[in-house]
Chains A and B, each alone.
Chain A
Amino acid sequence: MKMKEKQKDGKLYTWISLGFQSGVFISLGLVAIGLITLSISGDKIADAVIPLSELPQRLFSPDAKVISSLGIAILLLTPILQVVIAATRFASYRDRRYLGISLALLCMLALSLFLSAT
């Protein structure tokens, strides 16, 4: 393997690995805070998460349910963010084939996101 190409791939793998790790730990932190808040307050948590479309407005009045829902939403968006990172890296490498594949995948994920938000 050419050294330059190896270094490029190394960066791609490091960025995606860090992205996964950060997303999981931020999400874990938020759901844990939500869970502890609920246990202390003794409130009942709702049976359904806050819809994604309502989540940004509810962030101004955070409670256990909002924090938990935000944690779950961040977790679900984490893998999608990794595809964005991959697409960005492929664009900087001028790797058109995989930039195209990543963008096509992002369009499908956007459809999934649209279906989940409407």
Chain B
Amino acid sequence: MELTIANISALVGIGLFAGLLGSMLGVGGGFIIVPVLTLALKLPMQVAVGSSLVAIVANSCTAASAYLKTRMTNVRLGLLLETTTVPGAIIGAIAVTLLTSSTLGILFGIALLYVSYSMISRRPVITDSIASTSNSANSDDTSTSFPSQSQNMYYDISQHRSVTYEIKRIPSGLIASFLAGILSSMLGIGGGIIKVPVMHSLMGIPIKVAIGTSSFMIAITTAAGALIYYRNGYVNPSIVTPLIVGVVGGALLGTSLAQKIKGAWLRRGFGGLLLVTAILMFLRAANVM
């Protein structure tokens, strides 16, 4: 792709949009970047996924830094879950070279449908929590298991108190993290759409901590997968460099805006947009467009 001022501006704009919405919705940004690169710029799926993963690393590093500052991250839990997520990401990145662009497009379309459903339906798995507020799971729990009680605590600014929580079902969390790693590398997504609900609903982690820990994990997982795409030549600098500039700007803006904007309408609108994109991905995979 030729790097004209118009192309650079368009890619920075896409990155800005992905970083802004991704950080506000907790979806990494891959669900925006990959469809735009494949549908609008007609790039091969593998190049779109590789470029998207690099942009997600930039997005998640920016978000993770902010969440770590406010202690909304459980670093120990994140590292533990990463021991199965990273092997999943490596397997996914290797497997992607064996799949055709159409197969990947169909898989991506299915993932989009799932995300779209979770956003439109009554279960606001991600958005409302990022938009900030107060629905912590197990906020009254004082029991503990693992890593240790002292680490399973955070200060909730909106509730003006410390919240202690218990981590449950660690083996199930490790298995789910492995699957999230595979999907992340194969589809160029952060995997937060799987990690956050698993940590929150299955493992009993407060939603705010689940999002902060997920950002920390996404940075590590996507870096592991992106390095293999880098090696295989699927990272295109002419696309990635403007995307990084936009994504970091968008993530910084999104993190501050997330506290001020009501998430429900934004989530439903975004869910509808993803539904249309999923249909377009299926049509493209079937060579209809």
Contacts and interface: CB of A to CB of B under 8 A. Distances in A.
A59 interface: no
Interface string A4-46: 0110010011101110110110011001101100110000111
Band of interface residues on A: 35 or more
Contact of A112 (B5, B54, B86, B244): B86
B69 interface: yes
B8 interface: yes
Nearest to A20: B65
Contacts, number: 177
B223 A78 contact: yes
Interface of A: 1-2, 5-6, 9, 12-14, 16-18, 20-21, 23-24, 27-28, 31-32, 34-35, 38-39, 44-49, 51-52, 65, 68-69, 71-73, 75-80, 82-83, 86, 97-98, 101-102, 104-105, 108-109, 111-113, 115-118
Given A49-B236, A83-B79, 12 more contacts: A20-B219, A28-B58, A31-B245, A72-B235, A72-B241, A79-B223, A83-B220, A101-B80, A105-B220, A112-B89, A115-B94, A115-B227
A115 B75 contact: no
Contacts of A48: 233, 235-237
Interface centre among A75, A86, A118 (most CB of B within 10 A): A75
Contacts of A105: 79, 82-83, 86, 220
B62 A112 contact: no
A110 to B, nearest CB: 10
Given A13-B68, A21-B65, A98-B147, A112 B233 contact: no
B76 A78 contact: no
B223 A52 contact: no
Contact of A75 (B61, B71, B220): B61
Given A17-B68, A27-B58, A79-B57, A104 B83 contact: yes
B199 interface: no
B160 interface: no
A104 to B, nearest CB: 6
16 contacts: A2-B150, A20-B68, A35-B8, A35-B245, A45-B3, A47-B238, A52-B230, A75-B58, A76-B227, A79-B220, A83-B220, A108-B83, A112-B90, A113-B227, A115-B90, A115-B94
Contacts of A113: 227
Interface string B72-86: 010110011011001
Interface centre among B54, B83, B228, B230 (most CB of A within 10 A): B230
Interface in B137-173: 147, 149-151, 153
Nearest to B221: A79
A18 B66 CA distance: 10
B108 to A, nearest CB: 22
B248 interface: yes
A72 B237 contact: yes
B183 interface: no
B90 A76 contact: no
